[in-house]
Amino acid sequence: MSHHISRSISQSASLSGDAAARTSAAVKLPRKLCAACLRAQSACICGWIAPHVAQVEVLILQHPLEVQQAKGSARLLHLSLAGSQLAVGECFDPAQLDAMLAGPRRNILLYPDTPADQAPGMLRAAALDPAWLRHPQGLRLIVLDGTWRKSRKMLYLNPALQGLPRLPLRQTPASHYLIRKAHLPDQLSTLEATVYALEQLEQAPQRYAALIDAFDGFVAQQAAFAPPRSGDQL
């Protein structure tokens, strides 16, 4: 963002006064933001909120680089799931993270369970006790919202996450996320991956189908908002 602004200012010296004036106005005037989704009101996504009450509690740990990512789905997920939490950070304060992971719910990390991801020095993930799955109301699903690389880094930087049993997704439908390149290894958005994980844990296929439908609307909106290429007329 600041990247963009500084570039347009340095270019403005060779542009007409009109363009320079527009640039400084854009820098000075704060855009009105929607208080719920934190986006400009012209790009508010709250119309796609599909309220659901999950049996499994959801804690979303969002990488800071995702906060301003227009195509990110974590906030829509958070706004749609009653009782979900969203915390932004890369390396969390251990005491703060411990508090977020506190019982009595048992924590499961939404993350592929592949030995190749065990970097030296990382704790080994505990095995997922099948008995836990009989009581979805006793579970908390931890979701890392970031690119694949950033998710790995978050895992590496937060030892409290490393030992958690992991939930690999199985048999997920094809992603509806056509607006962004591979986000998770299975190319699902954070919202889709979480929804399918909840359906898996709650053994309730289609319970969140309305949320996926709403997500389709969000994807279409983001596609329509994609910045035009130079020379394009809107």
Binding status of residue 44 toward Zn ion by CB under 5 A = yes
Q: What whole-number distance in Å separates Cα of residue 192 and Cα of residue 184?
A: 10
Task: By CB under 5 A, tell whether 36 contacts Zn ion.
Answer: yes
Q: Which is nearer to Zn ion, 44 or 100 (CB)?
A: 44
Residue 43 near Zn ion by CB under 5 A: no
SS (H, E, C) 107-150: EEEECCCCHHHCCCCCCCCCCCCHHHHHCHHHEEEEEEECCHHH
Q: Nearer Cβ to Zn ion, position 34 or 179?
A: 34
- CB of 48: closest distance to Zn ion in angstroms? 9
Query: Whose CA is closest to 39, among 7, 3, 68?
Result: 68
- Contact flag: residue 212 with Zn ion (CB under 5 A): no
Residue 163 near residue 130 (C-beta atoms within 8 A): no
**Residue among 37, 54, 167, 198 that touches Zn ion (CB under 5 A):** 37
Smallest gap from Cβ 219 to Zn ion, in A, equals 16
Beta pairing partners, 101: none
* Angle, helices 17-28/2-12, rounded to nearest 10 degrees: 150
CB-nearer residue toward Zn ion: 44 or 88? 44
Nearer to Zn ion, 76 or 144 (CB): 76
**Residue 46 interacting with Zn ion (CB under 5 A):** yes
* Contacting residue, 9, 20, 34, 212, with Zn ion by CB under 5 A: 34
Residue with Cβ nearer Zn ion (37 or 211): 37
Work out how close the CB of 75 gets to Zn ion at its nearest, in angstroms, rounded to a whole number: 9
Separation of alpha carbons 161 and 108, rounded Å: 9
- Options 38-46, 100-108, 126-134, 158-166: segment touching Zn ion (CB under 5 A): 38-46
Q: Which residues bind Zn ion (CB under 5 A)?
A: 34, 36-37, 44, 46
